[in-house]
Amino acid sequence: MQKIISLPWQVPFGTFALKLDPLSLVFLFAIVILVVCSGLYGIGYLRPYKGKKGMGWHLFFYILLAVSLILVVTANNVILFLGAWELMAIANYFLIIFNNDQHEVRRAGFLYLMATHCGTFCLFLMFFLMANNAAGSMNFDVIAATNFSPIMAGIIFVLALLGFGVKAGFCPMHIWLPHAHPAAPSHVSALMSGLAIKTGIYGICRVIWIMKILPDWCGYVLLIIGASSGLLGVLYALGQHELKKLLAYHSIENIGIIALGLGVGLLGRTYNQPFLSAVGFAGALLHVINHALFKGLLFLGAGSVIQKTHTGNMDHLGGLAKVMPYTSALFLVGALSICGLPLFNGFISEFIIFMGLFNGLFNLPQQGIFFCGLGIVSLAVMGALALACFTKVYGTVFLGEVRAENVNIEDIRGRKESTSKWMIVAMMSLAGLCLWIGLAPHTMVNFTLVSGQYLSGKSFAVNEAEKLLIPLATIISVVLFLIVVFLGLIVLRRLVKGNAAPLIRETWSCGFEQFSPRFQYTSASFARSIVEFAKNILLFNRQGNKIMGAFPAAGNMSSAVKDAAEEIMVRPFYIRLIRLSRKIDENRNKYTQMYLMYIFLFLIFLLVWKIR
């Protein structure tokens, strides 16, 4: 089941021990695929920057990130894990600030660095508590063999949620994510969204694996976090005007879905339901892989759009399907997958999580049924909201007509799809994998079921897996049948109409003659009804003059959605912190000699402490 490689390493408490087990294999699979695809994409994407930026450094940090990601998911030692974790954070930071001549990019990078270190602080506490319990041993499998008292386990679990939750982007701790993702170049955003935030999920899975017995509230906490992150993530996404920021918020939603799966798995483990537990964990882990694939694809697609039009503002774009046929088709694949629609991979993992939650309704005690019910409803609403969000994205970016004058689509129109071949190939391979998991899910489902079983620690009866695999097989046949019916209907239409070419006219605009592309619904107007519905959570504000009187004057209007977690929780705290540190700064005395004396006194204190 697992393989451990141990190498000599001259670090106190550290062993260079790498472990391959079913859990890390799942993450490795996602890492290898996405690192290769994003790398290929980067070749094409970075071509315009050639000669202007240091490509060598970028490549160095890209490879460093890949290596550290692999180390993070394979490390079997606390010190090695933390080292790789830091390496990953730093490599990621340098990748984010690729466009370091822009002020916002540097700020976003700094915010990322701050956030990740706040998380690491909790991780230090958590690992020291663990090691303390395991009599000083720093190896994961030694720690996993020890017993934890329920209180200790609870404290460690909360610390893990805080520490890894910042990385993963659980809801109140997600504030760095929507800033850092749009700042980075697109192939790096794909890596961050697809993989870097998944290391947070990996960490939580690893803690669940180490703590064989967790208090029963842990599962409920994960379910609540999942539901709230998912719903808030997708609602915030709906309010965005910027393509990559929207995708970043969607990562929070998907992390929420993964947390729902983990929550069910954990509940199943706590209440001794091996199959339920394995299904929950398997759904979550499959969603980890799926999210890496389709979110990678979407970020890469967004990158192509931005490279071509030099803007990510959806309210300015439109009609790109005609000039970028490949990108638009591949983006559609990503959009369908992320909405969890049948035929693509998103549906498979969401179906498994749904099955886990529905099974939870039958096998858990009363409060478990209640929380599973809420989980099902929130997952369903997330699906519907994601659908609203991605129809908005696809409809406003790729369909209709281009909206703003400053996006010069005529310039692009002449040459069909001038997107670099490397970029197309990278996106195609990700889309192909989405389709593969969507249409032939058995390989991956079995793979993640094994991991789920490994995580739950108990094996379920072999014939129970059929409960999942047979419905999946039926689903695939229904979906294939749907395609056949679709083709049949297309043929029928052709038969009825003969070969007569249809008439091509303007869009019917209810008799109105002076048609302008600016009449179209923008992304903001499309999402407005939903955003206004949730305006108390979203801090939606809309400024501008209303239309008054029979002959209204020219006016302007702007609307924006602000992040409540950022505005209400973090910013006031941050402002107070700054004020406090200013005060301390004013009060300190400014003689170097005093500081030398402090150091000297401290040395004496240490000496006395050691001698005693």
Partner 1 sequence: MRIIVFSIILHWLIVLGCSPLFVGIINRVKAVISGRRGPSIFQPYFDLFRLMQKQQIYSRTTTWVFRATPAIVLASMLCVALIVPFGKIAAPIRFSGDIILVAYILALARFFMIISALDTGYSMEGMGASREAFFSCLAELVLFMNFITLAILVKKVSLSQMIGSDVPLLWSTVGAVLIMVVVSFFVVLLTENCRIPIDDPETHLELTMIHEVMILDNSGVDLAYILYASAIKLFIFAAILVPIIIPFKTGILWSDMCVFFAGMTGLALLIGLVESGMARLKLNRVRNFLLIAFALAFFGFIVTLWRI
Which residues 317-376 are close enough to bind partner 1 by CB under 8 A? 318-319, 321-322, 332, 336, 339-343, 347, 350-351, 354-355, 358, 361-362, 366, 369-370, 373, 376
Give the one residue of 11, 114, 384, 604 binding partner 1; rule: CB under 8 A: 384
**Minimum separation from the CB atom of position 66 to partner 1 (A):** 35
Q: Are 229 and 255 in contact (CB under 8 A)?
A: yes
Q: What are phi and psi of 503, to 5 degrees?
A: -75, 145
458-497 binders of partner 1 (CB under 8 A): 467, 470-471, 474-475, 478, 481-483, 485-486, 488-490, 493, 496-497
DSSP helix/strand/coil, 22: helix
**Paired tokens of 180:** 């850092």
CA–CA distance, 342 with 347 (Å, rounded to integer):
5
Q: In Å, how far from its chain's centre is CA 129?
A: 29
**Minimum separation from the CB atom of position 1 to partner 1 (A):** 29
Binding to partner 1 by CB under 8 A, coded x per residue (else -) over 509-528, reads: xx----x-x-xxx---xxxx
**Paired tokens of 18:** 């790498």
Q: In Å, how far from its chain's centre is CA 85?
A: 18
Query: Which range of residues in 189-197, 204-212, 381-389, 604-612 is near partner 1 by CB under 8 A?
Result: 381-389
**Minimum separation from the CB atom of position 335 to partner 1 (A):** 8
**Paired tokens of 42:** 């980067």
Residue 4's DSSP bridge partners are: 19
**Minimum separation from the CB atom of position 469 to partner 1 (A):** 11
Q: Are 66 and 35 in contact (CB under 8 A)?
A: yes
Q: What is the dihedral of CA 501, 503, 507, 510, to 10 degrees?
A: -140
Q: In the complex with partner 1, which residue's Cβ is closer, 149 or 507?
A: 507
**Minimum separation from the CB atom of position 336 to partner 1 (A):** 7
- State the number of binding residues for partner 1 (CB under 8 A): 80
Question: Given CA atoms 39, 44, 46, 47 in this order, what sign does their dihedral have?
Answer: positive
Q: In the complex with partner 1, which residue's Cβ is closer, 495 or 599?
A: 495
Which H or E element spans position 543? strand 540-544
**Minimum separation from the CB atom of position 446 to partner 1 (A):** 18
Give the one residue of 51, 414, 502, 544 binding partner 1; rule: CB under 8 A: 502
Q: In the complex with partner 1, which residue's Cβ is closer, 68 or 520?
A: 520
Which H or E element spans position 570? none
Give the one residue of 3, 103, 415, 505 binding partner 1; rule: CB under 8 A: 505
Question: Given CA atoms 432, 438, 443, 448 in this order, what sign does their dihedral have?
Answer: positive
Q: In Å, how far from its chain's centre is CA 233?
A: 10
Q: In the complex with partner 1, which residue's Cβ is closer, 95 or 355?
A: 355
Give the one residue of 381, 435, 439, 569 binding partner 1; rule: CB under 8 A: 381
**Minimum separation from the CB atom of position 347 to partner 1 (A):** 6
Binding to partner 1 by CB under 8 A, coded x per residue (else -) over 282-321, reads: ------------------------------------xx-x
**Minimum separation from the CB atom of position 477 to partner 1 (A):** 8
Give the one residue of 103, 508, 550, 588 binding partner 1; rule: CB under 8 A: 508
Q: Does 428 bind partner 1 (CB under 8 A)?
A: no
Q: What is the dihedral of CA 239, 242, 244, 247, to 10 degrees?
A: 20
Give the one residue of 163, 383, 438, 441 binding partner 1; rule: CB under 8 A: 383
Q: In Å, how far from its chain's centre is CA 422?
A: 24
Give the one residue of 390, 447, 454, 460 binding partner 1; rule: CB under 8 A: 390
Q: What is the dihedral of CA 70, 74, 192, 99, to 10 degrees?
A: -40
The DSSP 8-state label assigned to residue 195 in this structure reads I
Q: In the complex with partner 1, which residue's Cβ is closer, 377 or 580?
A: 377
CA–CA distance, 262 with 416 (Å, rounded to integer):
45
Q: Is 468 exposed, middle or buried (0-12, 13-18, 19+ CB in 10 A)?
A: buried
182-221 binders of partner 1 (CB under 8 A): none
Q: In the complex with partner 1, which residue's Cβ is closer, 196 or 314?
A: 314
Give the one residue of 86, 141, 401, 464 binding partner 1; rule: CB under 8 A: 401
Question: Given CA atoms 534, 535, 540, 544 in this order, what sign does their dihedral have?
Answer: positive
525-564 binders of partner 1 (CB under 8 A): 525-530, 533
Which H or E element spans position 533? helix 523-533
**Minimum separation from the CB atom of position 435 to partner 1 (A):** 15
Sole residue written with tokens 């967790």: 214
